[in-house]
C-alpha cells in the first residue's frame, strides 16, 4: 500500500530513479530512463502494479513493518533503512543505484547488526506501468523478468530459490546482496555486480560531487540534500533535467490535477541550472547548454516549452486506465498536453540561465550567444501575444504579467551582453522595446487602487509569480508597487498556515487554469515569498517562513510540488525540482556566509530606472 508522499526516499543513478518507502518497498522505478515504462508502479495503484520489498518477514494479512530509522549516508544518495525488532535483533538494508554503469541497476545490501532476523524479499515486476505481470524465468542459474522495454536480471547471494522472492535469516555480522539489473535483452548477460565495490564507488561519486558545493552557511545539510536531488533528476546521458521523478502524484488527493513530470521543461531546466550555478556547479550548466543547442537551436521557429529528455517533441497526453492512481486519484497520465502551449516566460528563463552561466564563468560558446539573440529576435514578433503563462493554464490565453516581465528579462540580459561586447544585435531597437514592455506592464498590469501588480492585464486576480518582479530586477525591492504586491499576495494567497498558493482556484468551477478542483500551497512560491520578505527588509519573517518550509520535509529532506494545508501533507509530483530550486536559492541568497558567488542580475543603470513611471 503506498505511503505518504513525503515518506518516500529517492535513490537514483542520474539516468533514472526509484522511490523506496519506509517499509523497504520500492513502489516506483522506470527503466532504463526517467521517462521509460515503470516496472514498479505500485505507487499509482496497488501491489499488483509492481513493487520490490525487502524487509523483516511479516505474517500474512498484516502490514510489513515500518523501519525504526532511515537516513542517507552523508553527502550521498545511498539510503540506509534500519529495523530494531525487540526480541529478534536489528537489521539494515542499504539501497543504491550505481552511477555511470550504462545498465541501470538497483542494489540492495542486507546486513545483520544484532541478533537474528527473518527477512523476506518479494519482487513483483510488471510490463507497461503495471498493466501485466512480468513472469520470471531461469537463465544460466539467474532469474530474469522480461519487461518489454528490456530484461531485468535478479542476482542474490541470499539462500532463496530462484524466482520472485523468498525468506532468509540474517544474523549479526551476516550480509547478503540483491541486484536488479536492466539490460536491453538476454543476448548479453550482465556481470553479477560486486555490491561492496559498487557501494564504495557510488559513495565516492556522490561525496566528490557534493564536496564541490560552494555554499557555506547554517543550512548546509538542507542545501546539499536539495543539490543532490537536482543532480539526481538530471539525466546524465543527455544533460536534460526532468521536472520530477514521478507522473500523476495528485495536487489534491482524489482530484484530477495529476500530471506527468518526467520531461524537460525549458523553464524548470533553466531554474535548475541557476540553482546549481549558485552552488558553483558549472559542468551541469555546460551539459544543459549543449542539450539546448542540440534540441532547440536547430528548429528555433518551432520552439516548444518542453521536450522529452532526448529532445522528443511529441508528448501527447494519454491516460493509463488500468492504474487507479495514488490514493485513487485518477486519471494517471502519460505525456503532457502543455507541450504545445505558448508560454512567453520560457524565453526569459532560458536567456537568464545562459546569462547567469556566462557571469559564473562558463566558457563562451558563440552558438549559445546566437541562440539568445535568435530568441530575442523571435520575441519582437511574439511578445504582445496572449499566452498560457508560467502555470500552463488550460483556460483562455491572457496577457499574463509574469510572462511580459520575463520577456523584459530576455531583452534586458541580451542588451547587457551586447553592451559588454559579448554579443551583437540592434542595441537601440531592443532598448526601446525593453522600455516599451516595461511601461506597458507598469500601466496595464498594475492596479493603482489596490497598489498591486495583477495576474494579467486588467484582471483583479493576484498571482504568486509576481513575487519574481524584484528578484528579476524589473523593479527594485523598495519600490512602493513591489512592496504593495508582496503584501497583497501575502494577504490574499496565503493558506491559513502561512504558505503561498500560486493563484486562486475556483473549486468545482473552472478558474483561470480551466480546471475543476483546488490545489495545495505551491512550495516554490512560498520560497519566493521568503526571498521577497528578506529583500524588503523583513528578514526575521523571511527566516521564519524558510524554517517552516524546511520543517515540511520528510525525514529524508525531500519535497514534493505542493503542501495540502488541510491534510497537512505533501502533494503533487515528487521529488519536485522546483521546490528544491527554491530552497537552494533562498539559502544561498539570504543565508549564506560569506557572500554568494552569483546573484540574479539587477537593472543595469540608474538611467534605466529613471525611465520608470513614478509609483502612484
Ligand atoms: O497544474 C497545471 C499544470 O501543471 C503542470 O505544470 C506545472 O509543472 C510544470 C513542471 O514543473 C511547471 O513548469 C509549471 O510551471 C507548473 O504549472 C502540468 O505540467 C501542466 O500540464 C498543467 O496544466
Name the one residue in this structure whose C-alpha cell is 500500500: 1
Q: What is the pLDDT of residue 310?
A: 97
**Across 3-14, average pLDDT:** 98
Q: Which DSSP symbol is given to 315?
A: -
CATH no. for 5-187:
2.70.98.50
Tell me the pLDDT band of 161, cut-offs 50, 70 and 90: confident
> Considering the chain, what percentage of its residues have pLDDT values greater than 90?
88
Q: What is the pLDDT of residue 507?
A: 61
465 lines ligand 1 (CB under 6 A): no
Write the ipTM: 0.95
Q: Which residues contact 311 (CB under 8 A, 6 or more apart)?
A: 238, 291, 294, 295
> Phi then psi for 116, rounded to 5 degrees?
-135, 130
Q: What is the pLDDT of residue 601?
A: 46
346 lines ligand 1 (CB under 6 A): no
More confident residue, 161 or 523: 523
Distance between CA atoms of 571 and 250, rounded to whole angstroms? 6
Q: What is the pLDDT of residue 278?
A: 97
Q: What is the pLDDT of residue 104?
A: 96
Nearest CA to ligand 1 atom 7: 391
400 lines ligand 1 (CB under 6 A): no
CB 598 within 8 Å of CB 359: yes
More confident residue, 113 or 189: 113
Q: How far is the CA of 587 from the centre of ligand 1 (A)?
A: 24
Q: How far is the CA of 391 from the centre of ligand 1 (A)?
A: 6
Distance between CA atoms of 23 and 35, rounded to whole angstroms? 26
Query: pLDDT of 272-300, one tens digit each?
Result: 999 999 999 999 999 999 999 999 987 89
392 lines ligand 1 (CB under 6 A): yes
Q: Kindly provide the residue ranges of all beta strands, DSSP E only, lying in 57-131, ordered along the sequence.
A: 69-72, 79-85, 89-96, 105-124, 126-127
pLDDT reading at 600 higher than 90: no
336 lines ligand 1 (CB under 6 A): yes
Query: pLDDT of 560-579, one tens digit each?
Result: 999 999 999 999 999 999 99
Query: pLDDT of 213-264, one tens digit each?
Result: 999 999 999 999 999 999 999 999 999 999 999 999 999 999 999 999 999 9
578 lines ligand 1 (CB under 6 A): yes
In angstroms, what CA-CA distances link 124 with 40, 160, 202, 271, 504?
8, 16, 26, 37, 42
337 CA: nearest ligand 1 atom: 21
260 CA: nearest ligand 1 atom: 19
Q: Which residues contact 239 (CB under 8 A, 6 or more apart)?
A: 284, 286, 287, 288, 290, 291
Q: Which residues contact 212 (CB under 8 A, 6 or more apart)?
A: 279, 280, 281
Nearest CA to ligand 1 atom 5: 259
pLDDT reading at 609 higher than 80: no
Which value, in Å, is the radius of gyration of the alpha carbons in the chain? 25
Instruction: Give the count of alpha carbons within 13 A of 100, CB side only.
Output: 7
Distance between CA atoms of 15 and 588, rounded to whole angstroms? 27
Query: pLDDT of 186-204, one tens digit each?
Result: 778 888 889 999 999 999 9
| Mean of all residue pLDDT scores within the chain | 94
Q: In the numeric block, which cell numbers belong to residue 120?
A: 523476506
574 lines ligand 1 (CB under 6 A): no
CATH no. for 224-610:
1.50.10.10
> Phi then psi for 290, rounded to 5 degrees?
-65, -40
168 lines ligand 1 (CB under 6 A): no
Distance between CA atoms of 269 and 240, rounded to whole angstroms? 7
Boundaries of every domain in the chain: 5-187, 224-610
Nearest CA to ligand 1 atom 16: 391
Q: How far is the CA of 173 from the centre of ligand 1 (A)?
A: 48
State which of 34, 391, 527, 574 you would mutate to test the pocket of ligand 1, scoring each by most atoms of that ligand within 8 A of its C-beta. 391
Q: What is the pLDDT of residue 520?
A: 85
Global model pTM greater than 0.90? yes
CA 544 to chain centre: 24
Nearest CA to ligand 1 atom 19: 259
Q: How far is the CA of 315 from the centre of ligand 1 (A)?
A: 14
522 lines ligand 1 (CB under 6 A): no
Amino acid at each position: 500500500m503506498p505511503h505518504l508522499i513525503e515518506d518516500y526516499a529517492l535513490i537514483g543513478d542520474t539516468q533514472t530513479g526509484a522511490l523506496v518507502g519506509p517499509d523497504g518497498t520500492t513502489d516506483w522505478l522506470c527503466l532504463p530512463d526517467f521517462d521509460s515504462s515503470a516496472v514498479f508502479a505500485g505507487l499509482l495503484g496497488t501491489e499488483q502494479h509492481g513493487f520490490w520489498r525487502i524487509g523483516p518477514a511479516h505474517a500474512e494479512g498484516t502490514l510489513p513493518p515500518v523501519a525504526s530509522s532511515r537516513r542517507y549516508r552523508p553527502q550521498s544518495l545511498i539510503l540506509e533503512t534500519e529495523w530494531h525488532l525487540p526480541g529478534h535483533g536489528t537489521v539494515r538494508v542499504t539501497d543504491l543505484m550505481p552511477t555511470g554503469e550504462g545498465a541501470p541497476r538497483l542494489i540492495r545490501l542486507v546486513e545483520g547488526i544484532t541478533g537474528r532476523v527473518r527477512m523476506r524479499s518479494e519482487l513483483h515486476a510488471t510490463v507497461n506501468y503495471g498493466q501485466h505481470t512480468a513472469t520470471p524465468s531461469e537463465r544460466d542459474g539467474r532469474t530474469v523478468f522480461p519487461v518489454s522495454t528490456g530484461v531485468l536480471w535478479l542476482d542474490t547471494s541470499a539462500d532463496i530459490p530462484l524466482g520472485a522472492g523468498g525468506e532468509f535469516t540474517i544474523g549479526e555480522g551476516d550480509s547478503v546482496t540483491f541486484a536488479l539489473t536492466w539490460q536491453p535483452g538476454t543476448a548479453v548477460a550482465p556481470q553479477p555486480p560486486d555490491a561492496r565495490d559498487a557501494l564504495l564507488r557510488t559513495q565516492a561519486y556522490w561525496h566528490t560531487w557534493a564536496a564541490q558545493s560552494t555554499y557555506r552557511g547554517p543550512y548546509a545539510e538542507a542545501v546539499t540534500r536539495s543539490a543532490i536531488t537536482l543532480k539526481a533528476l538530471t539525466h546524465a546521458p543527455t544533460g536534460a533535467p526532468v521536472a520530477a521523478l514521478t507522473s500523476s502524484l495528485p495536487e489534491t488527493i482524489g482530484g484530477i490535477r495529476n500530471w506527468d513530470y518526467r520531461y524537460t521543461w525549458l523553464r524548470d531546466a533553466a531554474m535548475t541550472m541557476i540553482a546549481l550555478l549558485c552552488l558553483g556547479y558549472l559542468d551541469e550548466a555546460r551539459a544543459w547548454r549543449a542539450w539546448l543547442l542540440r534540441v532547440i537551436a536547430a528548429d528555433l521557429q518551432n520552439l516548444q516549452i518542453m521536450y522529452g529528455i532526448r529532445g522528443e517533441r511529441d508528448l501527447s497526453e494519454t491516460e493509463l486506465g488500468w492504474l487507479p492512481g495514488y490514493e485513487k486519484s485518477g486519471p494517471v497520465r502519460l505525456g503532457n498536453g502543455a507541450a504545445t502551449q505558448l508560454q512567453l516566460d520560457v524565453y526569459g528563463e532560458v536567456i537568464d540561465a545562459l546569462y547567469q552561466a556566462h557571469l559564473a564563468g562558463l566558457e563562451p560558446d558563440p552558438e549559445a550567444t546566437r541562440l539568445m539573440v535568435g530568441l530575442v529576435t523571435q520575441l519582437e514578433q511574439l511578445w504582445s501575444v496572449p499566452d498560457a503563462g508560467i502555470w500552463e493554464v488550460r483556460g483562455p490565453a491572457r496577457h499574463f504579467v509574469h510572462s511580459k516581465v520575463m520577456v523584459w528579462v530576455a531583452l534586458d540580459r541580451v542588451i547587457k551582453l551586447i553592451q559588454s561586447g559579448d554579443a551583437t544585435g540592434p542595441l537601440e531597437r531592443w532598448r526601446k522595446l525593453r522600455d516599451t514592455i516595461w511601461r506597458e506592464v507598469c500601466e496595464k498590469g498594475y492596479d493603482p487602487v489596490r497598489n498591486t501588480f495583477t495576474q494579467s492585464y486588467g484582471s483583479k486576480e493576484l498571482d504568486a509569480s509576481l513575487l519574481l518582479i524584484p528578484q528579476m530586477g524589473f523593479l527594485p525591492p523598495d519600490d512602493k508597487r513591489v512592496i504593495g504586491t508582496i503584501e497583497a499576495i501575502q494577504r490574499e494567497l496565503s493558506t491559513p498556515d502561512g504558505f503561498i498558493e500560486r493563484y486562486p482556484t475556483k473549486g468545482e468551477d473552472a478558474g483561470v487554469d480551466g480546471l475543476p478542483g483546488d490545489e495545495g500551497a505551491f512550495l516554490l512560491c512560498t520560497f519566493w515569498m521568503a526571498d521577497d520578505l528578506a529583500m524588503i527588509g523583513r528578514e526575521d519573517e523571511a527566516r521564519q517562513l524558510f524554517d517552516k518550509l524546511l520543517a515540511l520535509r520528510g525525514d529524508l529532506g525531500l519535497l514534493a510540488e505542493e503542501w495540502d494545508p488541510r491534510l497537512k501533507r505533501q502533494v503533487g509530483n515528487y521529488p519536485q525540482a522546483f521546490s528544491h530550486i527554491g530552497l537552494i536559492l533562498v539559502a544561498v541568497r539570504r543565508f549564506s556566509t560569506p557572500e554568494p558567488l552569483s546573484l540574479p542580475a539587477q537593472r543595469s543603470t540608474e538611467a534605466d530606472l529613471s525611465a520608470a513611471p513614478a509609483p502612484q
